[in-house]
Amino acid sequence: MTVEYVAYIALRVSDLERARRFYCDLLGFRVFSEFAHDGPSPSAQLLGLDSVPVRALFVERDGTRIELQHLDLPADRALPRARPQLGLCHFGLRVSDLDGLVAALEDAGATLLEASRFEHAELGSRVAVVEDPDGTRIELIDMPGDPRAPLGRPVSP
C-alpha cells in the first residue's frame, strides 16, 4: 500500500459562500469541483451524529487543493475552537504588495495578527499572518525572487 496522491487540505468554514469569495476573489484560488452529501459520513461520526449534511467547494491554486467544507449542524451542536494546538498551524502564500493584500483581506473579514509582522533584512522579506473569517491562519510572505523556490536550504535526496 502506498500513497497515490495528496488530494487536498480541508478547512471547515462557517459560511461557504463567504469562504469562496475570500479564497477565490482575494487569494486567487479557483473552484474546480463541489460536493454535497446528506447521509452518514466520517464528519458525522466524529461528532457523534448519525448524519450531518456536508457541503464543500474544492478550490485550487498552483497545484494546491483546499476543500472548503461546511457542516449543517443541528442547532444544539457547535464545533469546538481549539488553539493553541498541534497539527495544522498555518499555510503560507508568497505574495507581492503585502500591505495592500492585508488591507483587502481585513476588509473581507480577516484578522491581522499584529505580533506576526516580521522583516528579515538578510532575505529582504516581510511577513504577516492573518486569520481568515473562521480563524484559519495564513502566513503571507513578501520576498524577492522566484516564488516557487524553496525556503531554506534545499535538501538533496
pLDDT digits (tens, 9 = 90+) for 139-156: 999 999 998 887 777 787
Q: Which three cell numbers stand for residue 66?
A: 483546499
**Sign of the CA dihedral with 42 first, then 65, 29, and 117 last:** positive
Q: Which residues contact 116 (CB under 8 A, 6 or more apart)?
A: 127, 128, 129, 139
pLDDT at 81: 66
Residue 25 half-sphere exposure toward CB, CA atoms < 13 A: 10
Kindly report, residue by residue over 41-93, the tens digit of the pLDDT. Answer: 777 777 788 888 889 999 999 999 999 999 888 777 777 666 666 677 889 99
Could you give the domains of the chain? 9-71 (3.10.180.10), 91-142 (3.30.720.110)
pLDDT at 75: 78
Q: Tell me which of 88 and 129 has the higher pLDDT.
A: 129
pTM of the model: 0.85
CA pair distance 67, 57, nearest whole angstrom = 6
